[in-house]
Amino acid sequence: METKIEKTKNYTGNKAIPGVRERILGLIPAAHLFVEGFAGSGGIAKIVYSSGGQVLLIEKDALQCSQLRLHAPELKVIEADFLSWYRDNENTLPEKTVIFLDPPYLHSTRSRGADLYNCELTPRDHVAILNTVISSRHKFIIIHPITDLYTQSLKYWDFTQISIRYHKKTSFEGIWTNYDLDTPLFNYLACCKSNTQRQQVKRELSRLHAKFDQMTIAKRSFFLNSLIARYE
């Protein structure tokens, strides 16, 4: 049964907006644990949780943590600096952990370079985060405006460019991942580029279900085991 969570509250930089969320969700691989660092409003984690995923939110801002606990009490929220938390827990996290980072952007990428959050990052903080994740054993998804720092630091990662409208202005941003994009996804439908494509996939799945429903238990088991052995 799908779990209902209150709609994501307005939050500066929230990525759970139509078009953007699908691009991110379409890159999230299947995992035992989904961690959203710099959680903010936890927009992406809420969708993963509602789809049956196990999630963990890491947020340094005490006030925002209170908001998360108020509006999404089902989720586990930890009040902590992400980098410190990750360094303390890296070796004990499950191997199949996926971590999504949407950190406060470099001030040089913002209009007027203004502060937007209670807990900001310095350029040195960004460097420390990047140096840590590029040597990590876990799967990471990082989104940030396209800058030399991120482009050069993550030059060996897979890269997807997106455009996002903030306050009637377009920001060209990158999504970097440190795993092959043919990795099994937690929700394949999320990567479909349109509702028409999603409906087509659903119809194909329905036809497959109908075929399997007509098989004997032994035949169905044989087919399933053969498919698993072939594509594992």
In the prediction, which pLDDT does 5 show? 43
115's tokens: 């502060």
Condensed to tens digits (0 to 9), the pLDDT of residues 67-110 reads: 999 988 989 999 999 999 999 999 999 989 999 999 999 999 88
User: What is the arithmetic mean of pLDDT over 119-136?
Assistant: 96
User: What is the arithmetic mean of pLDDT over 34-44?
Assistant: 92
Spelled out in words, what is the top-level CATH class assigned to the domain 20-188?
Answer: alpha beta
In the prediction, which pLDDT does 20 show? 82
In the prediction, which pLDDT does 23 show? 84
Q: Quick one: how far is CA 107 from the chain centroid? A: 23
More confident residue, 180 or 14: 180
In the prediction, which pLDDT does 185 show? 77
User: What is the arithmetic mean of pLDDT over 209-226?
Assistant: 90
31-40, 64-73, 158-167, 210-219: range with lowest mean pLDDT: 158-167
In the prediction, which pLDDT does 191 show? 59
Type of residue numbered 138: H
How far apart (Å, rounded) are the C-alpha atoms in residues 176 and 100?
10
Given a cut of 70, is residue 194 above it in pLDDT?
Answer: no
Helix (H) or strand (E) holding 225: helix 217-231
User: What is the arithmetic mean of pLDDT over 48-64?
Assistant: 90
Terminal alpha carbon distance of the chain: 27
Output the average pLDDT for the chain: 86
Bin 141: left if φ > 0, else alpha if -120 < ψ < 50, else beta. Answer: beta
Given a cut of 50, is residue 214 above it in pLDDT?
Answer: yes
Condensed to tens digits (0 to 9), the pLDDT of residues 101-113 reads: 999 999 998 877 7
The domain limits of the chain are 20-188, 192-231
More confident residue, 184 or 207: 207
How far apart (Å, rounded) are the C-alpha atoms in residues 91 and 153?
23
Q: Which residue in 130, 140, 131, 148 sits closest to 176, CA to CA? A: 140
Given a cut of 50, is residue 62 above it in pLDDT?
Answer: yes
